[in-house]
C-alpha cells in the first residue's frame, strides 16, 4: 500500500503510473516497446550549426 500512497500523493507520477498499467506499458517484448530519451542532445552539423534534440523510438 505504501507505493500507492507515494504515487497518489505525487501528481508528477500519475503519467508514469497510468502509462505503466495501460496497454502501452505491457509490451510484447523489447522489439515492440517504445523508447523515449530523458535528456536533450546537442547535435552539430558540418557547418558548425548547433541543434538540440530528443529521441523517441516507435
Which residue has better confidence, 42 or 34? Answer: 42
Q: State the pTM of this model.
A: 0.42
The DSSP secondary structure of 5-54, one letter per residue, reads HHHHH-GGGHHHHHHHTSTTTS-SSGGG--EE-SS-EEEE-TT--EEEE-
> How would you classify residue 19: left for phi > 0, otherwise alpha for psi between -120 and 50, otherwise beta?
alpha
- pLDDT for the residue numbered 48: 98
- Sketch the domain layout of the chain as residue ranges: 2-57
- pLDDT for the residue numbered 53: 95
- Reported as a single tens digit per residue, the pLDDT across 10-27 is 888 888 888 778 776 666
How wide is the angle at C-alpha 35 spanned by C-alphas 43 and 23, nearest 5°? 155
Amino acid at each position: 500500500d505504501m507505493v500507492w500512497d507515494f504515487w497518489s500523493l505525487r501528481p508528477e507520477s500519475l503519467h508514469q503510473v497510468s502509462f505503466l498499467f495501460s496497454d502501452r506499458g505491457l509490451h510484447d517484448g523489447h522489439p515492440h516497446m517504445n523508447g523515449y530519451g530523458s535528456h536533450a542532445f546537442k547535435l552539430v552539423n558540418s557547418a558548425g550549426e548547433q541543434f538540440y534534440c530528443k529521441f523517441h523510438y516507435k
